[in-house]
Amino acid sequence: MTHDTVRAMRWRDGALELLDQRLLPGASEYLRLTTAPAVAHAISDLVVRGAPAIGITAAYGVVLSTLQHAEVSGPEKSQRIAADVALLAAARPTAVNLCWALQRLQPLLEDVDAPDLSERCLGEAKQIHQQDIAANHQMGELGAAYIDSGSSVLTHCNTGSLATGGYGTALGVIRTAYRQGRIERIYADETRPWLQGARLTAWELQQDRIPADLIIDGAAAWLMAQEGIQWLIVGADRVAANGDVANKIGTYQAAVAARHHGVKVMVAIPSSTLDMDMPDGSQIPIERRQPDEVTAVLGQPIAPADCGAWNPVFDITPAALVDVLVTEKGALEHPDKDTIAALMAT
């Protein structure tokens, strides 16, 4: 059993269908999108989230743009598609996979009047999607090899099929290790303020019959002290050339606690998440979102009216706190700029 039944996006009858992750776990509904601006809005509004899933979604958004503007030609068509691509690129600034996917389709857009433009773009988008799933399975095998039998692990945010093309990055490692009998206990942080761990990771693992216990974010350090956690396993939205990791807010504090308690830290990402043009984490843009995401939970106010809030969506975990970086190209122990550069050169 692969423990892999969930898909966040699917192409069906000339449209992109996205599982609306804002509604989980209460409802499982797909939104049907037919324009690139609608896709960009869905990305920025967290209908879909997770760096690999965002990149795949944006690629399908380009396909929709070529279909929408099929009746025009020449410079006007090129300008309209370029505007859609720019809109997609601006939807989430931290996830490097977004621009990576758009860049993969860019050569096809050099000839906007090609009669098979939409078909070629769709073929490339589907290839990006399938390659991501294959990469996740490869990462699962590589990462699981580091986990001893009988281990307990903690994960943060959602890094499974909901955040990728399928199977998952960090959850892909956990899925594989669980299937191999290496993992005895799984814990998931709730992941404030959007509760991806509670709403998404717990739901996804339940769908795939993998038992897990949910904890509040503030319990992670005490869990490590009391329960003998062996691994903190997370994904990332961007990893700098030196190995610094941009991931969901709360990852840094979990990694600091892990180092103090002798818990190893594994980061599982596709190689497309490595930004070789970003020398270190200090230059990675950190998205800020609205205060009401912190002062309310699922629309219910939990703070006084007009209370301010500081709401960075991501934080930076220094490479020095990462024990293993897993990609589909291979796994690196104690990654740094030299070992990462060598990996990317393969």
- Give how far the C-alpha of residue 256 lies from the chain's centroid of Cα atoms, to the nearest Å: 22
Q: What count of other Cβ atoms lies within 10 Å of the Cβ of residue 259?
A: 16
Cα separation, 170 vs 187, in Å, equals 13
* Contacts of range 259-264, beta carbons closer than 8 Å, 24 or more positions apart: 259/321, 260/221, 260/224, 261/221, 261/224, 261/225, 261/229, 263/154, 263/224, 263/229, 263/230, 263/231, 263/232, 264/146, 264/230, 264/231, 264/232, 264/323, 264/324
- Report whether 226 contacts 260 (CB < 8 A): no
Catalytic residues: 237
- Report whether 307 contacts 283 (CB < 8 A): no
Task: Using the structure block, give the residue that is written with the tokens 């190893």.
Answer: 264
DSSP per-residue string spanning 37-94? HHHHHHHHTTSS-SHHHHHHHHHHHHHHHHHHTTT--HHHHHHHHHHHHHHHHTS-SS
Cα separation, 306 vs 149, in Å, equals 50
Cα separation, 327 vs 77, in Å, equals 38
- Report whether 335 contacts 280 (CB < 8 A): no
Going from the C-alpha of 100 to that of each of 103, 272, 322, the distances in angstroms are 5, 7, 24
Cα separation, 129 vs 166, in Å, equals 8
